[in-house]
Amino acid sequence: MAEVTKTDTIRRNKSRGQRQTKLIIVAVCLIFLSGSLYTIAEAALTYFAGLGMIAEISWENTAEGPAWSFQRELVTTTDEGGVLIPMVNEGERVSKGLEIARLNFLGDTRLSEPGNRRIYSPVAGIVSFEPDGLELVNGTKDYAELTIPFLESKIGDEEEPRRGSQGLTGLIQDKLEQENWDAGEETDSAAGQEPAAPAKTEPKEVYGGTAIVKVTDNLSDCYIYMRLPAQEEEPFQVADTVTMRLDEGNPGKGTVLLCEEISAGWGLLMKLESGLEPLRHGRRHRLTLVLGTDARIAAPAGSVVMKDGETGVYMVEKHKVRWTPVSITEEKDGLQFIEGTEPGDISPGDVIATRPWLIWDGMRLRD
């Protein structure tokens, strides 16, 4: 037998070490490759699962109806007919004691005629030369007499107001714009110019025994009477705080004084507490009341699937899929409104699979 030299031993040991190194490198590569494939598969499954969040959808329950506002209104009447000569414009705010009109019993429009009676503002407020017959409050004691039967008897079958009554000033501006439109003129002010002033209030004939002018104290307490549509339950209780809106503007707050059934539904008397300044500058309005707020949990349509005879969703918590039974209460506008079988099963913000066709309980996903 040939003698094994030292060089041969070294060569064999080196070859054996190289084979071991190659095996280690191949094993490491296979490990990294399998990990990469798992990561890719996990990412692909996560993508196809379409992870999303459970949302809370909330909305307001509202009721809309005609409304009338009442404040302290001081009315001037005349026993004799004549011509009323305004000294200020309709809707203008005046101070107490200011001369606001003259009444000429002789039927003349000249201010110097001896038949003139001077009319002064009894209080600071807003002037109107068009009393509407609903001036029900002129003193503190009158507020307590605003009962729903009394208001219904006064209002009667009056035509419902248009939405967002603009009040006296707005009506004057509307009239002015209409007159300008009829004359073929533009109504918008040029850039940098002041808007056109309200039209001057012209003299008019008045008759004996009628109200000819009123001044509204728009800083006094404001009361609102509103007709609500018919519903089974009483919408409000006395002393409830209500939220009111005119069109899409900022809301105001009020306090319920009376709420009673009437032939058309419910009559609601409220005291304005804050906001809604336009209510103070007109009589008739169209109001929206917030009756309450509802909130429900919703998932995208298709998230709820059937498993073992029950409906549920696949929730993802800490990368792990968990089956959670739920019931569908309603499907609407691409959403499934859901409820858990136990309180706390599902909450807004929980992550779920919105395309759960390739998902199983216990699998891992990238949430």
Identify the residue with better confidence: 278 or 35: 278
Rounded CA-CA distance 117/115 in Å is 7
Q: Could you tell me how many helices (H) and strands (E) the chain has, helices first?
A: 4, 20
Which of 42-46, 73-77, 174-178, 343-347 reaches the highest mean pLDDT?
Answer: 73-77
**Whole-prediction pTM:** 0.63
* The one-letter amino acid at 243: T
Q: Which residue has the tokens 């060569």?
A: 11
Assess whether pLDDT exceeds 90 at residue 68: yes
Region label for 78, one of left (φ > 0), alpha (ψ between -120 and 50) or beta (otherwise): beta
The correct answer on CATH 3.40.50.920 for the domain covering 73-129+201-219 is no
Domain 60-71+142-185+221-293 identical in fold to domain 73-129+201-219: no
The three-state DSSP-derived secondary structure of the chain is CCCCCHHHHHHHHHHHHHHHHHHHHHHHHHHHHHHHHHHHHHHHHHHHHCEEECEEEEEEEEEEEEEEEECEEEEEEECCCEEEEECCCCCCEECCCCEEEEEECCCCCCCCCCCEEEEECCCCEEEECCCCCCCCCCCHHHHCCCCHHHHHHHHCCCCCCCCCCCHHHHHHHHHHHHHHHHCCCCCCCCCCCCCCCCCCCCCEEECCCEEEEEEEECCCCCEEEEEECCCCCCCCCCCCEEEEEECCCCCEEEEEEEEEEECCEEEEEEEEEECCHHHHHCCEEEEEEEEEEEEEEEEECCCCEEECCEEEEEEEECCEEEEEEEEEEEEECCEEEEEECCCCCCCCCCEEECCHHHCCCCCECCC
Q: What is the pLDDT of residues 100-143, one digit of tens each?
A: 999 998 887 777 777 789 999 999 999 999 999 899 988 777 88
Percent of the chain with pLDDT over 90: 36
Q: What is the pLDDT of residues 160-199, one digit of tens each?
A: 444 434 444 444 344 444 444 344 443 333 334 344 444 5
Q: What is the pLDDT of residues 211-242, one digit of tens each?
A: 999 999 989 999 999 999 988 788 899 999 99
Q: Check residue 324 and give its pLDDT.
A: 87
Q: What's the Cα-to-Cα distance from 110 to each of 11, 85, 105, 207, 210, rounded to whole Å?
A: 134, 8, 11, 18, 22
| Lookup: tokens for 150 | 């009394």
Rounded CA-CA distance 125/248 in Å is 27
Residue 337 binned pLDDT confidence (cut-offs 50, 70, 90): confident
The arrangement of strands across the sheet holding 72-78 comes to 72-78, 210-217, 125-128, 93-94
Rounded CA-CA distance 138/70 in Å is 10
Q: Check residue 197 and give its pLDDT.
A: 46
Identify the residue with better confidence: 306 or 39: 306
Topology annotation, domain 60-71+142-185+221-293:
Elongation Factor Tu (Ef-tu); domain 3 (2.40.30)
Rounded CA-CA distance 284/227 in Å is 12
In the chain, domain spans: 1-47, 60-71+142-185+221-293, 73-129+201-219, 301-358
Rounded CA-CA distance 32/15 in Å is 26
